[in-house]
């Protein structure tokens, strides 16, 4: 099953659409609550990241009976130092973003803690593609 959501740069007001939709679907499939929570938190975090840092993008959700795979693909600017971005507490978020309660530097590390697979492809000037997978069976 496939579903797509648009991410608009700077549109924090509409953050959470994708994660809420995913949550509803997984509840219908009787997926374990803890697993639902993990993927919802990870997707929400990634969605906010993309809104804060990227020039817009798309969320692709693929679901089967064993797993959910979510890919967030944006159109730039890319992450210059990925290792640094994966460090807890590191943030490049602007003062404006922080004022809104986002940008604590927990994004990528928090995503990593909540998913079974996290793959990040990024190129400065091109964009970032984050793939996360949560297995239902394990």
Partner 1 sequence: MSENFFYHALKIDHKICYGCTLCMRNCPTEAIRVRNGKATIYGNKCVDCGECYKVCPCGAVYVAQDDFDNIYNFKYRVVLMPSVFLGQFPEDIRASQVYSVIKEIGFTHVIEVEASTMTHTKLTNQYIYEHQDKKPLISTFCPAVVRLIQVKFPSLVDNLIPIKAPVDFTSIYIRKKLIDEGIDPKDIGVFYITPCAAKIAATKSPVGEDKSTVDGVLNMDTMYNMVLKQIKQHKEYDKSVSANDASSDSILFALTNGEKRLTDCKKSFAIDEIHNVMDFLEKVENDEIDDLDFLELRACDESCAGGILTCGNRFLINDRMTQRARKLADRERNGETSRRKEIYSEEKFLIDNSSVAKIMPRSMMVLDEDISIAFEKLTKIKEIEAMLPQTDCNVCGAPSCHALAEDIACDEAKMSDCVFMQRNLEMRNSLNVEESVEIMKKIWGEEKIKDYVLKK
Chain residues that interact with partner 1, rule: CB under 8 A:
1, 16, 19-20, 23-25, 27-31, 33-34, 36-37, 40-41, 44, 64-65, 136
Comparison of 19 and 128: residue with beta carbon closer to partner 1: 19
Q: How far is the CB of 46 from partner 1 (least distance, A)?
A: 13
Comparison of 106 and 118: residue with beta carbon closer to partner 1: 106
Q: Which residues contact 84 (CB under 8 A, 6 or more apart)?
A: 90
Q: 10 Å Cβ neighbour count for 102? A: 19
Q: 10 Å Cβ neighbour count for 118? A: 17
Q: How far is the CB of 31 from partner 1 (least distance, A)?
A: 8
The answer to whether 27 and 36 are in contact (CB under 8 A) is yes
Q: How far is the CB of 74 from partner 1 (least distance, A)?
A: 21
Residue located via tokens 């990593």: 112
């Amino acid at each position: 099953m496939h579903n797509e959501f648009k991410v608009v740069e700077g549109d924090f007001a509409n953050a959470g659409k994708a994660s809420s939709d995913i949550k509803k679907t997984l509840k219908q499939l009787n997926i374990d609550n803890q697993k639902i929570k993990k993927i919802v938190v990870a997707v929400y975090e990634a969605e906010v990241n993309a809104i804060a840092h990227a020039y817009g993008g798309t969320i692709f959700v693929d679901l089967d009976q064993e797993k959910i795979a979510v890919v967030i693909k944006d159109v730039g600017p890319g992450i210059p130092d990925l290792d640094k971005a994966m460090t807890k507490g590191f943030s490049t978020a602007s003062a404006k973003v922080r004022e809104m309660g986002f940008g604590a530097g927990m994004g990528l590390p928090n995503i990593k803690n909540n998913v079974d697979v996290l793959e990040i492809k990024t190129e400065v000037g091109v964009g970032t593609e984050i793939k996360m997978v949560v297995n239902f069976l394990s």
